[in-house]
């Protein structure tokens, strides 16, 4: 008997060591990647002597593409603005639908919601982004072209934003639905007991009480949108100029990195500038993730 | 005296479960009516019939009638939101909304159409005063209600209910989660409020029923076994089951 227990403890300990090792490995890999990005991404400023101001706030993009040769222009504002505007617009398009759906599947018709709606939304998460991009390119772009007849065809900020909106919809919807579901029943009863209608209960008690969780969903969605490359690059038009309106094409950080990273000379100014763009994306993601944790902890403090 | 609420031949089913059997009761204006009985006997269920909170329970079915000032509340002549404004409710666990003290009290008047800031201020102040908690809270109207003690939260919930100017106040074991001092404050409050309101209170505590109520109903397994003057019910119960329950000789 004793031996069995000892054996169990020993194997327990061995497994624990394995788990800890795996955990440490992941932490180490993440840190290593961060450090590598930080090193590579900062070379634009250190080795090539460009200013952070130039990179972030000017739009002259003419980096030299030869190893060790510096002196071009690395203003990435077009890409940065392209990323921000498509993400924000995607959020604005997506939010009413996502919150409406979350309310529907929790408050209005929980049975249908749980049985059909949630599984359906979860399937959307697992569809590869090339499918979204392909749908955007073959259906959405022609549609925009036929409706608005923009000078440059249908490839546009609008097309990219709609594709992104569709891609982040399931994330925001499911996270919001969970947040709404976790609002205590007693709040709803309290409001109904005062003579509130269903919409007054939802709008003035349930949604405010769930707002922390909904915000988490929004940030998760934004993190997904800001990092999405393939689907966006298929419909945004990839022209290196600011979009003058929603129907004009532009480019963004991920499209530029994905398109050019493989073709640039190692250690050249162009290559380094792309690394800096990758670093910027990394920083944005980290900021968003820190925000999520802040929100989650803030809720616990209450 | 005129009935405030008349309950006639009320039967209630939760799907197949017959939870209330043929209940008849007359609840008088400006009186405190207490419901007592072992847990699970249907006290909360009956209370929640009086402002149609059972509408929220799926599969709940009601036969018979409940009249408020002579109007059948299930008859379609009275909108459920108006009914709940006239018949307010305080719950077993204090359930302030996750908002400021002020917003909690102002919630009801706001949804019923009061928008004037000064009028809202006045309603908030009078309601908190009526609930005897104005002095405690007047300096923290903008603080979250979730930071208050349990007793303060419950009195805030009473103030929130009073803010929509109800005629009847339903209280479902309002002191079961509170300490003795908070409990006696709520009891005093109930006695004061009965001047202006009709109160129905569920209590697990027989002493509480004796202390504050005018009439008491004793329930057992979905039956209203006995209903009458509180003094009489506790001193000379008519039914043997009531006697066994109030003398503590019940299984
Ligand atoms: N929502 C519900 N669905 C089904 N049965 C219920 C529900 N609420 C209460 N019941 C049942 O009805 C009976 C009376 O409950 P309740 O009115 O809460 O009793 P009390 O308040 O006297 O303790 C109990 O048997 C309880 O299990
Ligand atoms: Mg109860």
For the cut 60, the answer to whether the pLDDT of residue B160 exceeds it is: yes
* Interface contact B84-A197, CB threshold 8 A: no
* pLDDT single digits (tens) B218-237: 999 999 999 999 999 999 99
Q: Do the Cβ atoms of A61 and A75 come closer than 8 Å?
A: yes
Q: Do the Cβ atoms of B73 and B67 come closer than 8 Å?
A: yes
Contacts of A195 in chain B (CB under 8 A): 80-85, 108, 111-112, 164
pLDDT for the residue numbered A162: 96
Question: Burial code of A246-264, b = ≥16 C-beta within 10 A, e = fewer?
Answer: bbbbbbbbbbbbeebeeeb
With an 8 Å Cβ cutoff, is A51 touching chain B? no
> Which of A184, A188, A195 faces B84 most closely, judged by CB atoms?
A195
Coil, strand or helix: which one is B26? strand
Coil, strand or helix: which one is B77? coil
Across A36-52, average pLDDT: 93
Q: Do the Cβ atoms of A197 and A205 come closer than 8 Å?
A: no
Full domain range(s) for residue B94: 1-245
pLDDT for the residue numbered A4: 84
Choice from B21, B45, B54 to test ligand 1 binding pocket (greatest atom count within 8 A of CB): B45
pTM (two decimals): 0.85
Coil, strand or helix: which one is B228? strand
Across A66-87, average pLDDT: 92
The distance of B31 to chain A (nearest Cα, Å) reads: 21
Instruction: For CA atoms A217, A220, A225, A230, give the dihedral sign.
Output: negative
Q: Are residues A46 and A160 in the same domain?
A: no
Q: What is the ipTM of this complex?
A: 0.92
Q: What is the enclosing helix (H) or strand (E) of A90?
A: helix A77-103
Q: Do the Cβ atoms of B199 and B171 come closer than 8 Å?
A: yes
Q: Identify from A186, A193, A299 which residue to disrupt to test chain B contact, counting B C-beta atoms within 10 A and taking the largest count.
A: A193
For the cut 60, the answer to whether the pLDDT of residue A206 exceeds it is: yes
Structural domain contains residue B250: no
* pLDDT single digits (tens) A275-297: 999 999 999 988 988 888 887 77
Query: What pLDDT band is residue B250 in, cutting at 50, 70 and 90?
Result: low
Strand order, beta sheet including B32-36: B71-72, B60-68, B3-14, B17-28, B223-229, B215-220, B32-36, B198-202, B168-172, B87-90
Hey, whose CA ends up nearest to atom 3 of ligand 1? B14
Q: Give the range among A24-38, A104-118, B185-199 with minimum mean pLDDT.
A: A104-118
pLDDT for the residue numbered A46: 92
For the cut 70, the answer to whether the pLDDT of residue A61 exceeds it is: yes
For the cut 50, the answer to whether the pLDDT of residue A193 exceeds it is: yes
Long-range contacts of A41-45 (CB under 8 A, 24+ apart): A41/A275, A41/A276, A41/A277, A41/A278, A41/A279, A41/A280, A41/A282, A42/A276, A42/A279, A43/A272, A43/A275, A43/A276, A44/A74, A44/A269, A44/A272, A44/A273, A44/A275, A44/A276, A45/A276
Output the six-digit token pair for A61.
């993009």
The enclosing domain of B131 has a CATH number of 3.40.50.300
pLDDT for the residue numbered B157: 96
The distance of B93 to chain A (nearest Cα, Å) reads: 8
DSSP code for B18:
E
* pLDDT single digits (tens) A223-264: 999 999 999 999 999 999 999 999 999 999 999 999 988 889
In angstroms, the CA B156 to CA B105 distance is 7
Hey, whose CA ends up nearest to atom 2 of ligand 1? B14
Structural domain contains residue A59: no
Q: What does the mean pLDDT of chain B come to?
A: 93
Q: In chain B, how many domains are there?
A: 1
pLDDT for the residue numbered A298: 66
Structural domain contains residue B237: yes
> Which of A186, A196, A204 faces B95 most closely, judged by CB atoms?
A186
Residue that is written with structure tokens 């008690």 in the block: A205
Query: What pLDDT band is residue B142 in, cutting at 50, 70 and 90?
Result: very high
Pairing verdict, β B215-220 and B32-36: parallel
For the cut 60, the answer to whether the pLDDT of residue B15 exceeds it is: yes
Q: In chain A, how many domains are there?
A: 2
Strand partners of residue B7: B25, B66
pLDDT for the residue numbered A5: 85
User: Distance, CA B168 to ligand 1 centroid (Å)?
Assistant: 23
Q: What is the enclosing helix (H) or strand (E) of B20?
A: strand B17-28
Residues 171-190 of A with CB under 8 A from B: 184, 186-190
Instruction: For CA atoms A140, A142, A147, A149, give the dihedral sign.
Output: positive
In angstroms, the CA B196 to CA B166 distance is 10
Of residues A32, A48, A29, the one with CA closest to residue A274: A48
Query: What pLDDT band is residue A302 in, cutting at 50, 70 and 90?
Result: very low
Number of separate helices (H) and strands (E) present in chain A: 14, 2
Structural domain contains residue B85: yes
Q: What is the enclosing helix (H) or strand (E) of B60?
A: strand B60-68
Across B177-195, average pLDDT: 90
pLDDT for the residue numbered A296: 73
Q: Are residues A179 and A89 in the same domain?
A: yes
Query: What pLDDT band is residue A178 in, cutting at 50, 70 and 90?
Result: very high
Q: Identify from B111, B160, B161, B168 which residue to disrupt to test chain A contact, counting A C-beta atoms within 10 A and taking the largest count.
A: B111
The whole-angstrom distance between residue B158's C-alpha and the CA centroid of its chain comes to 10
What are the C-alpha distances in Å from B241 to residues A8, B16, B209, B222, B238? 59, 26, 17, 14, 9
What are the C-alpha distances in Å from B247 to residues A22, B43, B45? 65, 20, 25
Q: Identify from A190, A211, A302 which residue to disrupt to test chain B contact, counting B C-beta atoms within 10 A and taking the largest count.
A: A190
pLDDT for the residue numbered A14: 87
For the cut 90, the answer to whether the pLDDT of residue A45 exceeds it is: yes
Angle (CA) A191-A197-A202 rounded to 5° is 65
In angstroms, the CA B31 to CA B36 distance is 16
Q: Are residues A29 and A84 in the same domain?
A: no
Structural domain contains residue A161: yes
For the cut 60, the answer to whether the pLDDT of residue B251 exceeds it is: no
* pLDDT single digits (tens) B19-56: 999 999 999 999 999 999 999 999 999 999 999 999 98
* Interface contact A190-B160, CB threshold 8 A: yes
Query: What pLDDT band is residue A133 in, cutting at 50, 70 and 90?
Result: very high
Full domain range(s) for residue A171: 71-296
pLDDT for the residue numbered A111: 87
Q: Do the Cβ atoms of A254 and A232 come closer than 8 Å?
A: yes
Q: Are residues A219 and A171 in the same domain?
A: yes
The enclosing domain of A180 has a CATH number of 1.10.3720.10
> Which of B81, B97, B161 faces A197 most closely, judged by CB atoms?
B81
Across A159-164, average pLDDT: 96
Q: Do the Cβ atoms of B159 and B142 come closer than 8 Å?
A: no
pLDDT for the residue numbered B212: 94
- Which is higher by pLDDT, A295 or A195? A195
Question: SS3 for A130-175, per residue?
Answer: HHHHHHHHHHHHHHHHHHHCCCCCCCCHHHHHHHHHHHHHHHHHHH
Residue that is written with structure tokens 């209903």 in the block: B227
Q: What does the mean pLDDT of chain A come to?
A: 91
Coil, strand or helix: which one is B247? coil
The distance of B74 to chain A (nearest Cα, Å) reads: 15
Across B157-181, average pLDDT: 93
The distance of A190 to chain B (nearest Cα, Å) reads: 7
pLDDT for the residue numbered A121: 84
pLDDT for the residue numbered A301: 45
What are the C-alpha distances in Å from B184 to residues A100, B181, B189, B234? 45, 5, 8, 21
Residue-wise DSSP of A20-41: HHHHHHHHHHHHHHHHHHHHHH
Output the six-digit token pair for A39.
């090193």
- Give the max Cα distance, chain B: 57
Q: Give the range among A133-147, A285-299, B96-110 with minimum mean pLDDT.
A: A285-299
Structural domain contains residue A63: no
């Amino acid at each position: 008997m004793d031996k069995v227990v000892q054996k169990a403890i020993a194997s327990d300990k061995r497994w624990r060591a394995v788990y800890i090792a795996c955990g440490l490995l992941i932490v180490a890999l993440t840190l290593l990647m961060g450090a590598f990005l930080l090193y590579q991404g900062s070379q634009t400023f250190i080795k090539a002597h460009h200013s952070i101001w130039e990179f972030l706030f000017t739009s002259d993009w003419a980096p030299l593409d030869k190893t060790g040769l510096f002196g071009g222009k690395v203003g990435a504002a077009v890409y940065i603005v392209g990323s921000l505007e498509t993400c924000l617009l995607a959020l604005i398009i997506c939010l009413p639908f996502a919150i409406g759906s979350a309310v529907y599947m929790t408050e209005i018709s929980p049975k249908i919601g749980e049985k059909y709606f949630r599984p359906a939304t979860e399937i959307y998460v697992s569809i590869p982004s090339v499918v979204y991009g392909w749908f955007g390119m073959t259906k959405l772009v022609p549609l925009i072209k036929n409706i608005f007849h923009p000078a440059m065809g249908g490839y546009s900020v609008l097309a990219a934003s709609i594709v992104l909106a569709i891609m982040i919809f399931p994330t925001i919807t499911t996270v919001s639905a969970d947040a709404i579901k976790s609002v205590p029943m007693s709040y709803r009863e309290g409001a109904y007991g005062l003579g509130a209608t269903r919409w007054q209960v939802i709008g003035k008690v349930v949604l405010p009480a769930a707002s922390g969780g909904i915000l988490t969903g929004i940030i998760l969605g934004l993190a997904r949108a800001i990092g999405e490359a393939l689907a966006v690059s298929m419909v945004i038009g990839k022209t290196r100029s600011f979009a003058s309106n929603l129907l004009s094409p532009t480019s963004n950080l991920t499209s530029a990195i994905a398109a050019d990273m493989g073709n640039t000379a190692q250690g050249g100014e162009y290559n380094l500038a792309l690394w800096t763009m990758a670093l910027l994306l990394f920083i944005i993601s980290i900021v968003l993730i820190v925000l999520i944790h802040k929100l989650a902890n803030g809720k616990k403090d209450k | 005296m005129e009935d405030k609420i008349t309950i006639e031949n009320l039967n209630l089913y939760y799907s197949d479960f017959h939870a209330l059997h043929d209940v008849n009761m007359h609840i008088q204006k400006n009186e405190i009516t207490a419901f007592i009985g072992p847990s699970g006997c249907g006290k909360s269920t009956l209370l929640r019939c009086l402002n149609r909170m059972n509408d929220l329970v799926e599969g709940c079915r009601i036969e018979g009638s409940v009249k408020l000032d002579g109007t059948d509340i299930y008859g379609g002549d009275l909108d459920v939101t108006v009914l709940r404004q006239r018949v307010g409710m305080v719950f077993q666990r204090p359930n302030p909304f996750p908002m400021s003290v002020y917003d909690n009290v102002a919630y009801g008047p706001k949804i019923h159409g009061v928008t004037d800031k000064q009028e809202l201020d006045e309603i908030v102040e009078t309601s908190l005063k009526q609930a005897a908690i104005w002095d405690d809270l007047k300096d923290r109207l903008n603080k979250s209600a979730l930071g208050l003690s349990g007793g303060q939260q419950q009195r805030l919930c009473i103030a929130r209910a009073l803010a929509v100017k109800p005629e009847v106040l339903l209280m479902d074991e309002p002191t079961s989660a509170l300490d003795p001092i908070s409990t006696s404050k709520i009891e005093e409050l109930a006695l004061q409020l009965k001047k202006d309101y009709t109160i129905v209170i569920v209590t697990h505590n027989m002493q509480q029923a004796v202390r504050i109520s005018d009439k008491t109903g004793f329930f057992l397994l979905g039956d209203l076994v006995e209903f009458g003057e509180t003094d009489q019910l506790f001193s000379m119960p008519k039914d043997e089951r009531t006697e066994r329950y109030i003398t503590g000789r019940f299984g």
